[in-house]
Structure 1
Amino acid sequence: MKIIAIGMNYQLHCHELHAGEALPQEPVIFMKPDSALLKDGKPFFIPDFSVQVDYETELVVRINRLGKNIAERFAHRYYDAVTVGIDFTARDLQRKYRAEGKPWELCKGFDNSAAIGDWIPVERFKDIQQLNFHLDIDGKTVQRGYAGDMLFKIDQIIAYVSRFCTLKIGDLLFTGTPVGVGPVQVNNHLEGYLEDEKVLDFYIR
């Protein structure tokens, strides 16, 4: 199982963290190892190598078929469930690595940096590209997203990624975060919602 993640997929988020940079012309792809997965409501422990770990709330889809060079018009056949996830980012390390022109996988791919909620079958929704999602921390909404605002839609991303690497059953696709990212603190209570249904619920330790 691999975790495929998309960076800079919402215009306002691009301006939030990358002011002055041009919007991407192709999906920005990075990977997380399977050891990054955090599920079943288990707590997230802030690692000792970072002083600023940020939440990035995202829609996550689950791949359910083997696929390579998938045409965009057929991409919807390759995922069967959706949830809300958190792409935890060691922001201080990311700034350091970017400034030095070095790869920044370590700030994204560390253990438990890919939290996911409960899966909901895609057939529950008329169009997952029209879904709303949000994150509450300690009972206050801190981030909202609408899948229709993605620069690159889910089916486009699947078609693009499958040109380079084979998608396998169980792979996860983190589709990018909207504007509103921020740091987590010990004892924060994170709750993620897909439309009005809570699918993600865990604490920061």
Structure 2
Amino acid sequence: MNVNETDLRNIYCVGRNYRLHAAELGNEVPTSPMIFTKPTHAVIRMEDGLLKLPGSQGSIHYEAELVVAVGRPYEPGIRCDELFTAFTVGLDLTLRDVQERLKAKGQPWLAAKGFRNSAAFGKWLAFPGSTAIKEGDFAFRINDQEVQRGNANDMVFDLQLIADFVGTNYGLGVGDVLFTGTPAGVGALSDGDRLDVRWNEESLGRLTVAIAG
């Protein structure tokens, strides 16, 4: 299953969609999906290259997530099994110090979430359906050590609810993708870290971190 990142239109992300992740950052679990976006210029494919990141704005945190791709326009009543055609494991990277300052001021998160290379995608796979995807785990390794593991069963808002919420309020169409939230275990990246995103123990993509001042 191939998704051409150059044809992406909208990158929607769901914040605080795993209870333990919300708790580890001292945040309340939302009562409706918390949606933010990333620009398409943030996209990088995980193909054994370098993940070039800024080093002058504080710590850069990783957040491994299931990512789903939209294969047809959203319409009321559509099942997410019809809407999504592919999925992967990706990284939603965050300038955490910048985000905390923005949150304190009540300002948008773009500067913390939308910088270049902040949306990393592994290899795309055919979407197996909303039930079958709960039978597999996604994981993230740094330097061959697992730091995150998640399962769609643990989402606060499931894929159907996310699809309906985003489709109704903002629209969903071909070329749109959804980051669906990260489990507990987020932390900072360091220069030289070797990153590996996995689905059911199969590697979907690798990158090596290069942090520049």
Q: TM-score range by the shorter chain?
A: over 0.9
Q: Tell me the secondary structure at the aligned position of residue 36 of structure 2.
A: strand
Q: By how many angstroms is 1:102 displaced?
A: 1.4
Q: Deviations over 1:36-78 (max 9, x none)?
A: 111142421121442200000000011111124x32x622211
2:20 counterpart of 1:4: no
4+ runs deviating over 2 angstroms: 123-126
CA RMSD between the two structures? 1.6
How far 1:130 sits from its partner (Å)? Answer: 3.3
- CA change 1:96–1:64 in 2 (3 A) is same
1:174 equivalenced with 2:170 (yes/no): no
Q: CA deviation at 1:103?
A: 1.4
Determine if contact 1:36/1:112 at 8 Å carries over to the other structure.
yes
Partner of 2:91: 86
Distance 1:137 1:147 in 2: 22
Alignment map for 1:90-129 (pairs within 5 Å)? 90-123=95-128, 127-129=132-134
- Percent identical pairs in the alignment equals 36
CA distance in 2 between counterparts of 1:118 and 1:160 reads: 26
Q: Distance in 2 between matches of 1:98 and 1:49?
A: 19
**Which residue in the other structure is 2:73 paired with?**
66
Which stretches in structure 1 are left out of the alignment for 5+ residues? none
Counterparts of 1:1-205 in structure 2 under 5 Å? Answer: 1-19=9-27, 21=28, 23-41=29-47, 42-68=49-75, 70-71=76-77, 74-123=79-128, 127-205=132-210
Contact 2:17 2:182 in 1 (8 A): yes
Aligned residues: 201
Give unmatched runs, 5+ long, in structure 2: 1-8
Partners of 2:32 and 2:131 lie apart in 1 by 27
AA aligned opposite 1:60 = V
